[in-house]
Structure 1
Amino acid sequence: MISTVKDLAAEALFVSCLQPSERPSRETVEDAITTMILRYGSDGCAAGVALEFGDHPDVAVQRMTWARSELTEVLVPRVSVLH
């Protein structure tokens, strides 16, 4: 199940308007993922990824690599520090 959630999040980030050059914050990435899932659903996100891989495979590989690397931080549970 976790890989399915991670795959969906990567697809949602991939189809978002965020760009690697923006160096988005964790919160911005989370918001973009949520927005894309609510807007397009899992099937719509997957379709957007498939379209880009079909039309622009060289660019799509780079974008998916970026999306997956962004998820490394986002999917790590937040830890509260108690003082």
Structure 2
Amino acid sequence: MSRWTAERLTRELGITGAVRGWRVITVLPGGRTDRVPVLVDSGFAAGAPNRCRVADFTYMKAWAGGFCVVFVVDTFPRRIVG
């Protein structure tokens, strides 16, 4: 049986295959959560070092599982500090 025939038959019968491992959901679709207020304007310029730091994180998949990559950036020199 071809792959497409199997997909069509399982879809018609409502059968799903076994899923191994775990699935991480990082975003809820449809805006079902409250948004965090923006505390720093997009045109913000820090007047001195260590006044304002921002962070960004990304979830990455790997062969052995998954991990988060986090960057902390000082807005004055625009360099990664952590």
Structure ranking higher on relative contact order (CA contacts 8 Å, 6+ apart): 1
TM-score normalised by length of structure 2: 0.19
Greater share of strand residues, 1 or 2?
2
Look at both structures and tell me which one has the larger radius of gyration over its CA atoms: 2
TM-score normalised by length of structure 1: 0.18
